[in-house]
Structure 1
C-alpha cells in the first residue's frame, strides 16, 4: 500500500483498537506484578512475542535474513525499545503510575518536534499542535492532581519516565526515518523484541528482581495477554501503520491509552470511574479530532 498523508477509516479504527488494548495492558501488568517482577515480566513478554512473530513471519514467507541495510537501525531501535521499558518498569519503584502517565505522554510532542528535522514531509499545522495540547490537557485532568503530591524519591521516578518518553519517541522516529520504515513490519518488530529479550533479563538481575515468585493462573494469563495480544499482534499492527501513515498523526491517538486504561480498571478491577474520566475522554477525543482534521482549502 502506498504511503498516505491522512488517516483513513482503517487507520483510525486500528488506532482506537490498539489504544484500547494498550489501556487494558495496564490492568494486565498490575495483575501479573502479583507473581512476576516488572522487568522480568517485560523480558519474558518480549521473548515470547519474538517466538510468535518469528513463526508468523516464517509462515508468511517474510524474508528476515536478507541484507537490506536494516541491521544497525534495527539494533538501535531494539536498544531504544529495551531502554524505554527498562526505565518505565524500574521507575514505578519510585513514583506512582498516575504521575508516570503524565510524563510518559509527553512522547507525542517529542515525535512532532523530531519530525520537524527528520520527517519534513509531515509538517505540523497550528491546528495539530492545538489538538495535541488539548488531548494532553485531557490527560492532566485525569491525573494532574497527583503532580501536586510528590513524595520521597518521586522526582527520580518522574525523571526516568520522562527519559522513557524520549526513548519511545526516538524509537518511532528511528523506524519512520530510516530504512526500517520501508521494510516488513514483522522484521522491524523482531529487531526490538529480540534485542529487548536479550537485554531486559540482565537489567532485572542487576536490579535484584526475584523473577517469577508467585505464579498463578491469573498471573500467567495476564502475561500471555501481554505477549500474544500486546507485544505480538498490536505492536505488529502499530509498525505496519507507521510504515504507511504519518507518525505525527498516529501519535496523537496515543493520548487515548491512559484514559482507556482507567476505564478498563473501572470495568475489570472495580476501580472508581469519576466525572474526571469522562471529561478527560471528551477532551482527548476533541484533541485527536483537531489534530487529524484535514487542512482547509
Structure 2
C-alpha cells in the first residue's frame, strides 16, 4: 500500500464513530445468538455452517466486484494457516458457550487485543509495545485472573463436575482469544497483509468451513436437533450479518480511517456482550465479575489507545 494511501486515512468522523458502535453491538450480540442456537444445532456443526454460508457470500461479492480470489500471489500457506486458526477460535467459542455464559465468554474472548499486542511485539518488526500498552495488558490480565477467581467462588457451592465445566468454558474463551490474536498476527506478518480484504476473509471462512464440518463429522455432530425460527434467524445472523456484512464494513473502514483510532472502540464489544447476555438470556453476574469486566475493558482501551508524542520512538 502506498504512502499516499496511508496518509489519506483520517481520524474517525461522526459517521465512522456511529458505524463502529453499531459494529460493536453486532459483534457483542454474536455470543447470545450462538448460545441460543446450540440446543437446535450441534455447536461445531453450527460453526461450520456459519463459515460455509459466509464463504459463499464473500465468493459472490468478490465475483461482482471483479476481485480475484484464486490468483497465485504467494499467500496460500499463510491463508491456510489463518483459516485453521480461525476454525480453532470458533471451536473454542461454540463449545465454550455450552459450558459457560455468554457474558463470561464475551469478557474472556475479548482479551484478544492484548494477546494480539504481545504477538505483534514478538513476531512483527516495528510493532513494539509501548509503556501504556504494557500497562493495559497487565490491567486486562488482572481482570481475567479476577474473573477466573469469581468463577471458582461461584462454583464453590456446586458439584465438583459443575465447577470444572464452568472453568473449562471460561478457559475455552481465553483460548479463543489467543487463536483470534494468532490469526491477526499471521495476517499482519505475511503476504496476506498486501492481499485484498475479500481474499483474506475468504481464506478464513472457506478453510474454517472445511475444517469445522470435517470435525463435526468426526465428532458425530452433523445433525439438527430441532428446527426452530430462532435457530434459523440466529444462523442467518451469524453468517450474513456478522461473518459477511460486518466484516466487510470493518475492512472498508480500515481503508479510510486510522486503524489505531478505530480499534479504541473494541472495548465496547464485550460491554455489549455482557449487556445482551443479561437482557436476552437472563444471565446474572457478581460484583467481583463486574469489577473483573471493568479491568478487562480498561486494559483493552489502554492497549488500543493512540500513542502519545512521548511514547513515539524515533
Task: Give the TM-score of the pair, scaled to structure 1.
Answer: 0.82
| 8 A Cα contact 1:172 1:247, kept in partner | no
How many equivalent residue pairs? 297
**1:224 paired residue number:** 236
- The answer for the alignment partner of 2:308 in structure 1 is 295
Matches of 1:141 and 1:91, distance apart in 2: 19
Do residues 69 (structure 1) and 74 (structure 2) align?
A: yes
- After superposition, the Cα gap between the structure-2 partners of 1:188 and 1:244, relative to the gap in structure 1 and judged at 3 Å, is farther
In structure 2, relative to structure 1, the CA distance for the partners of 1:287 and 1:113 (3 Å cut) is closer
**Equivalent residue, structure 1, for 2:277:** 265
Matched, 1:46 2:51: yes
Residue 130 of structure 1 and its aligned partner are, at CA, apart by 2.3
Deviation at 1:107, TM superposition (A): 2.6
Residue by residue over 1:248-292, the C-alpha shift from the partner in whole angstroms, topping out at 9 and shown as x without a partner, is 876665443222112123444455588789877766665555441
Q: Give the drift of 1:176.
A: 0.9
The answer as to 2:236 corresponding to 1:233 is no
- Structure 2 segments unaligned to the other structure (5+ residues): none
After TM superposition, list the pairs within 5 Å mapping 1:238-257 onto structure 2. Answer: 238-239=250-251, 253-257=265-269
Deviation string 1:32-81 (CA, Å, 9 cap, x unpaired) is: 22311111111110011011111111111111121111111111111111
State the 1:207 CA deviation.
2.2
TM score, norm. by length of structure 2: 0.78
- Within 5 Å, which residues of 2 pair with 1:15-34? 15-34=20-39
Report if the CA contact (8 A) 1:135-1:284 is conserved. yes
CA 1:180 to 1:247, structure 2 compared with 1: closer, same or farther past 3 Å?
farther
Distance 2:183 2:174 in 1: 14
Contact 1:102 1:140 (8 Å CA) reproduced:
no
**What is the RMSD of the two structures over their aligned residues, measured on CA atoms?**
3.6
Answer yes or no: is 1:183 the counterpart of 2:192. Answer: no
Q: Tell me, what secondary structure is at the counterpart of 2:309?
A: coil
More displaced, 98-107 or 137-146?
137-146
